[in-house]
């Protein structure tokens, strides 16, 4: 029975979980995931560029599958010399970023743009220690920005505009001294702009417009962001708009 099930495509196999408790137990074990993923996935990067079913396994199916998917993706893409992850051709309607996203710490870029992601950004994002660009723009992400972003000291670009993010801007972002672009516009962020952002001396473009920010613009931004070329703080009704 085990061998027969492994020749089914993953989506078909998972539908069979409803037929029998015995089948459901087989399909849920990690070894089944290993066998079925090794069968359907080749050793070439072309598979990842053209096959959305495998990508969906990482986002949709149980943790045992997601972990194994991550390991498989890392192995193949590292061998091919890829340095960034991009899921720009996948429709992820009502899917969430799983905690296993933290397994991709090898890569320096994560790009999932306008793919319908929902839910919050997991704290495990802080495990992506080599990340230089985080682009999750134009999704439906909500909740607070994780303070673990402050652990990603290699970041140059944070692009999270056009979501439903709420809460405060974490003061830990001030730890990202290599940050060049910070785009948090068109969300629902509130509270004051943390003065720690003044430590971002490499900042070139800052967009916090169209949020719910309030209070004074910290003077530290004026004295610290000496390389700033563009800043937009408009459409924040409670913000006292000093010039930076």
Phi first, then psi, for residue 237 (nearest 5°) are: -60, -35
pTM of the model: 0.84
CB 112 within 8 A of CB 140: no
Q: Where are the alpha helices (DSSP H) in 61-171?
A: 63-79
- What is the rounded CA–CA span in Å between residue 42 and residue 76? 9
Place of tokens 């992601």: 117
How many residues are listed for the chain in this entry? 244
- What is the rounded CA–CA span in Å between residue 212 and residue 29? 46
Can you give the pLDDT of all 244 residues of the chain as single tens digits? Answer: 555 555 566 666 666 667 777 767 766 676 676 676 666 655 445 555 555 566 667 787 777 778 877 887 787 778 878 888 887 666 667 889 999 999 999 999 999 999 889 999 999 999 999 999 999 999 999 999 999 999 999 999 999 999 999 999 999 999 999 999 999 999 999 999 999 999 999 999 999 999 999 999 999 999 999 999 999 999 998 898 665 5
Number of Cβ atoms within 10 Å of the Cβ of 169 = 25
Domain count, the chain: 1
The CATH code of the domain that includes 216 is 3.80.10.10
CB 109 within 8 A of CB 131: yes
Domain containing residue 19: 2-240
């Amino acid at each position: 029975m085990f061998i027969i099930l492994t020749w089914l495509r993953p989506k078909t196999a998972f539908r069979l979980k409803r037929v029998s408790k015995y089948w459901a137990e087989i399909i849920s074990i990690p070894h089944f995931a290993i066998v079925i993923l090794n069968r359907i996935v080749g050793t070439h990067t072309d598979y990842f560029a053209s096959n959305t079913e495998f990508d969906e396994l990482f986002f949709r199916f149980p943790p045992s599958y997601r972990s194994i998917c991550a390991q498989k993706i890392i192995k193949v893409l590292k061998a091919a010399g890829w340095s960034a992850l991009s899921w720009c051709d996948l429709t992820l309607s009502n899917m969430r970023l799983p905690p296993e996203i933290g397994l991709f710490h090898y890569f320096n870029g994560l790009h999932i743009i306008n793919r319908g992601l929902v839910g919050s950004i997991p704290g495990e994002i802080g495990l992506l220690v080599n990340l230089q660009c985080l682009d999750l723009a134009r999704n439906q992400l909500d909740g607070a920005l994780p303070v673990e972003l402050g652990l990603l000291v290699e970041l140059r670009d944070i692009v999270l505009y056009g979501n439903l993010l709420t809460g405060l801007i974490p003061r830990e972002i001030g730890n990202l001294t290599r940050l060049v672009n910070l785009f948090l516009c068109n969300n629902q962020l509130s509270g004051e702009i943390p003065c720690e952002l003044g430590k971002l001396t490499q900042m070139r473009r800052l967009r916090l417009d169209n949020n719910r920010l309030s209070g004074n613009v910290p003077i530290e931004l004026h004295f610290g962001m000496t390389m700033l070329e563009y800043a937009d703080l408009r459409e924040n009704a409670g913000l006292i708009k000093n010039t930076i």
